[in-house]
Homo-oligomer: A and B are copies of this chain.
Amino acid sequence: MAAGTSARGRAARPRQYDLDSLLAVAVSVFNERGYDGTSMEDLAAAAGITKSSIYHHVPGKEQLLRLAVERALEGLFAVTREDGAKTGPAIDRLEYVLRREVEVLVERLPYVTLLLRVRGNTETERWALQQRKTFDRFVQSLVKKAADEGDLRRDVDPAIAERLVFGMINSIVEWYRPGRVPVSTLADGVVTLALSGLRGKGS
């Protein structure tokens, strides 16, 4: 984003970071090595900078994690406040949220990836887990409502179904990379699979 040769000045002044561009690098490394498996030296090397320089931008390693998961959670919770998630039959709201969640997940892929891998070792991580739980409960209530309105199959426990569909969506971060397949195709696939299943009958 803000890294690279500045406007003027021959071959001088390469790499120059601000908080945002440094965060992008850090998150990328976190996702590759895992948060605990990443040292400040790893980050420094990836950024082409020294360890101590990182502390000019950020007060510590944990803050980088915090900023990243905040960015992810912000996107996720924004969906729950959108119209499509609040009006109409629960089954439609559910479909809307599923599709939108896929979109947000792809849009902020590295940040959401990191969020989904949080384990709970630090205060920041525990806070992130709590937030995820809150979001989870929102979707859970949608599934419950759709079941109550008779729009879901009755031979699968709604609680289990929610976990599974949720897990399916979250697993996207493990393999999807933007470019090859358009997001809309992915989102269609998710919604179709979640609601109508894999088996035949399709056009």
C-alpha gap A160/B168 in the complex (Å): 11
A192 within 8 A of B: yes
Q: Do B121 and A153 have beta carbons less than 8 Å apart?
A: no
Contact call A199/B151, Cβ cutoff below 8 A: yes
Cβ-defined contact, B34 with A119, below 8 A:
yes
Most-contacted residue by chain B among A171, A174, A192 (CB, 10 A): A171
The answer on a CB contact under 8 Å between A202 and B155 is yes
How close is A98's CB to chain B, nearest CB, in angstroms? 10
A15 contacts B by Cβ under 8 Å: no
Q: What per-residue 1/0 map shows which CB atoms of A163-192 lie under 8 Å from chain B?
A: 111111011101110000100011011101
Whether A153 contacts B119 in the complex (CB less than 8 A), given A168-B165, A168-B168, comes out as: no
Enumerate chain A interface residues (CB-CB to B < 8 A): 32-34, 36-37, 91, 119-121, 150-157, 160-161, 163-168, 170-172, 174-176, 181, 185-186, 188-190, 192-203
